[in-house]
Amino acid sequence: EEKKSGHSHQRGRFSGKIGYVLAVAGSAVGLGNIWRFPYLAAKYGGGMFLLVYILLTVSFGYVLIMSETALGRMTRKSPVGAFEHFGKSAPFKVGGWLNAVIPMLIVPYYSTIGGWVIKYLAEYFRGNVQKVSEDGYFGSFIADSWQVEVWFLIFAALVFAIILGGVKNGVERMSKIMMPLLVVLAVIVAAYSISRPGAIEGVKYFLVPNFENFSWMTVVAAMGQMFYSLSIAMGILYTYGSYMHKKLDIEQSTTQVEIFDTGIAILAGLMIIPAVFAFSGGNPETLQAGPSLMFITLPKVFATMGVGTGAGILFFLLVLLAALTSAVSLMETSVSTFMDELHWSRGKSCILMAVIMLVFGSASSMGYGILDFLKIFGMNFLDFFDFMTNSVMMPLAALATCFLVTRVVGYDRIAAEIEQSSKFHRKGLYRFFIRYLAPVCLIIVLLSSIANVLG
């Protein structure tokens, strides 16, 4: 019998094409592009990473976005409901919940990084443009656990205020103005970074693939990043697809979202990676800095800019906004999963999410300080959650979607759904990718992730 979904009878619709693409882009563009992409590219092979990332985005990412969106639109359900629409047995439940649980595990540590962004914003407001650029500044900040915790709580409070206050639409409308501003500012900062003496080596490192820099971790990291950045394999696109009008061209909007998201990631890379070469002489240690890279390198850029205080304020403000829209969409998905699938009230769902946030978010926030002794597979909390979700759970969730398409729903019904609105241009390609390429890629990634943890 039909599942009673709290939302289904009043399920909203996106008004039009622009609205849909902007909403998906608002969720997609966030810390993933600006904070995560540059540090992974720096760490896992520069141009080689970029090449692998782009290849994966246009093949595999394309197929998954298309599939998730089409399944969402076909069933008018979020992931748990969408999987159960096709079967009630255990594998369907596991597949749906796997997709649905991922945002719940991401949003806590996402908010830790969001807290770092607010901290830097506050420092620029105080005019501390030199202080934050000093060597070791970031390291001593994240070791100061209670302080990090407070900034995390501020970010988390903002997210809950937006969700509970129902100002979500206002924030999204605002982000439509801020997003273009972010692009303009990023272009200016990137141009400035690239023009510093020595930076051109960094441009080369980032843009020119060098096969010596290839490793399996390049592929694993690039694939995890692709999921993360495009909001794939975590139920978001099922949910957005379920709100999508049947007239909208799924293929075209997929392409637009991919171009936009990847464009911003590349811009962020151009702001940060050349600066590593200009300000730290391409020091391999800085290239390997990981999650802290943006917070170490950009302040050095701003400190030499003359207008550094203004640039710092504007930059971290825009990043904060991009992070908030993404965090809100993660939180909203999590909350609506509880409401739809467990028939909980909004308040109760928010309370559970608040508990999850507090426990996992605090663990992530303190992992570089007082919880430093606690390591899971040699990683601190934040890195562990990031690795678990991106390199293990998302490939599994994506695999579940591939199986659903190839074994249950059938490729023809997906194609029919897509063709409701327009011609399906890359039909053959889609079929080939989802049948052969996707499962093989996913299995390679999973095996490499396991090997990486055990090795």
74 binds ligand PHE (CB under 6 A): no
Q: Residue 105: which residues within 8 A CB-CB, separation 6 or more?
A: 360, 385, 388, 389, 393
CA 374-380-382 angle, to 5 degrees, is 130
- DSSP conformational letter for 131: G
182 binds ligand PHE (CB under 6 A): no
Q: Give me the least distance between CB of 324 and ligand PHE, in Å please.
A: 11
- The distance in angstroms from the start CA to the end CA of the chain is 48
33 binds ligand PHE (CB under 6 A): yes
Q: Give me the least distance between CB of 17 and ligand PHE, in Å please.
A: 21
57 binds ligand PHE (CB under 6 A): no
For residue 398 the two structure tokens come to 């994506």
By beta-carbon distance, which residue lies closest to ligand PHE? 32
389 binds ligand PHE (CB under 6 A): no
CA 189-37-54 angle, to 5 degrees, is 105
225 binds ligand PHE (CB under 6 A): no
Question: In sequence order, what are the beta bridge partners of 379?
Answer: 376
Q: Which stretch binds ligand PHE (CB under 6 A): 25-33, 88-96, 339-347, 387-395?
A: 25-33
Q: Which stretch binds ligand PHE (CB under 6 A): 169-177, 205-213, 226-234, 427-435?
A: 226-234
Pick 70 or 104: Cβ nearer ligand PHE: 104
For residue 358 the two structure tokens come to 């507090």
Among 5, 24, 26, 27, binds ligand PHE (CB under 6 A): 27
31 binds ligand PHE (CB under 6 A): yes
Nearest alpha-carbon partner for 382 in 97, 136, 39: 39
Q: Give me the least distance between CB of 290 and ligand PHE, in Å please.
A: 16
Nearest alpha-carbon partner for 406 in 80, 90, 101, 64: 64
Among 330, 388, 414, 445, binds ligand PHE (CB under 6 A): 330
**Alpha-helical regions (H) of 35-89:** 37-43, 47-56, 62-75, 79-85
Separation of alpha carbons 330 and 324, rounded Å: 10
Among 78, 112, 286, 326, binds ligand PHE (CB under 6 A): 326
Nearest alpha-carbon partner for 148 in 380, 304, 355, 388: 380
Pick 30 or 269: Cβ nearer ligand PHE: 30
Q: Give me the least distance between CB of 79 and ligand PHE, in Å please.
A: 12
112 binds ligand PHE (CB under 6 A): no
Nearest alpha-carbon partner for 260 in 17, 26, 20: 26
Q: Which stretch binds ligand PHE (CB under 6 A): 204-212, 225-233, 299-307, 353-361?
A: 225-233
Q: Give me the least distance between CB of 120 and ligand PHE, in Å please.
A: 17
Binding-site size for ligand PHE (CB under 6 A) equals: 15
229 binds ligand PHE (CB under 6 A): yes
For residue 308 the two structure tokens come to 């550094």
What are the φ and ψ backbone dihedral angles of 379, each rounded to 5 degrees?
-110, 150
Binding residues for ligand PHE (CB under 6 A): 27-28, 30-33, 103, 228-229, 231, 234, 236, 326, 329-330
